[in-house]
Amino acid sequence: MNLQPTIKYKKVKNTEEQWTALYCRLSCDDDLDGDSNSIRNQKMLLQKYADENRLRNIKFYVDDGYSGSNFDRPDFKRMMDDVDNGKISTVIVKDMSRFGRDHILVGYYTKYYLAEADVRFIAIYDQVDSETNPDDDITPFKNILNEMYAKDCSKKIKAVVRAKGNSGKHIS
């Protein structure tokens, strides 16, 4: 992955024409038709925050059923394309773990990529706002913990599958 910013600098002149991107992600869906319960709750929270803070031109980007441990997610890519093309002024997520769980890439996107594109980044529950607190020192540690959580869950799932297999139970 190329970590150099590739912003096209085609900023829309009028900020009224730019979007506020509300990004939702959940690693596994709950087999409901349409959005999972968690995605619906994230959407409601993000919409409420945007409304209360008078953020306009709302556009949802949703990756339901995609891991946060990589950034190869369809709507994340679509959102970054819109950032590159100057269509987005603000990105809002519920918390840092919804944006991603790879602390290096999360830091890259939030501290450098979005900043270079002049895009405000907000993580509501983690109280991260690149406009009001650009030098937040605790966020990188939260990102590391988010990544460790994902790795720990992966180890536990593999151990359960291995134990089932060793006991003769079906694992596929």
- State the average pLDDT over residues 129-143: 63
Selected residue with higher pLDDT from 127 and 6:
127
- State the average pLDDT over residues 139-168: 52
- State the average pLDDT over residues 21-39: 76
3-state DSSP call for residue 159? Answer: helix
Please tell me the predicted confidence (pLDDT) of residue 7. 52
Selected residue with higher pLDDT from 33 and 96:
96
Please tell me the predicted confidence (pLDDT) of residue 113. 95
Give the CA dihedral 32, 37, 39, 43, nearest 10 degrees: 130
pTM of the model: 0.71
| Spatial separation of the C-alpha atoms in residues 52 and 163, rounded to whole Å | 49
Could you give all domains of the chain from N- to C-terminal order, each with its CATH number?
A: 15-166 (3.40.50.1390)
Please tell me the predicted confidence (pLDDT) of residue 104. 87
Please write the tens of the pLDDT for every residue from 65-106: 998 888 999 999 999 999 999 999 999 999 988 999 888 898
Q: Do 21 and 88 contact (CB within 8 A), yes or no?
A: yes
| Spatial separation of the C-alpha atoms in residues 150 and 26, rounded to whole Å | 12
Q: For residue 15, what pLDDT band results from cuts at 50, 70 and 90?
A: low
- State the average pLDDT over residues 21-33: 75
Please tell me the predicted confidence (pLDDT) of residue 129. 92
Type and span of the H or E element at 37:
helix 37-52
| Spatial separation of the C-alpha atoms in residues 3 and 107, rounded to whole Å | 11
Please tell me the predicted confidence (pLDDT) of residue 153. 47
The two tokens of residue 91 are 């990105």
pLDDT at 32 over 70: no
Instruction: Give the other-Cβ count within 10 Å of 14's Cβ.
Output: 7
Please write the tens of the pLDDT for every residue from 100-128: 988 889 889 998 999 999 999 999 998 89
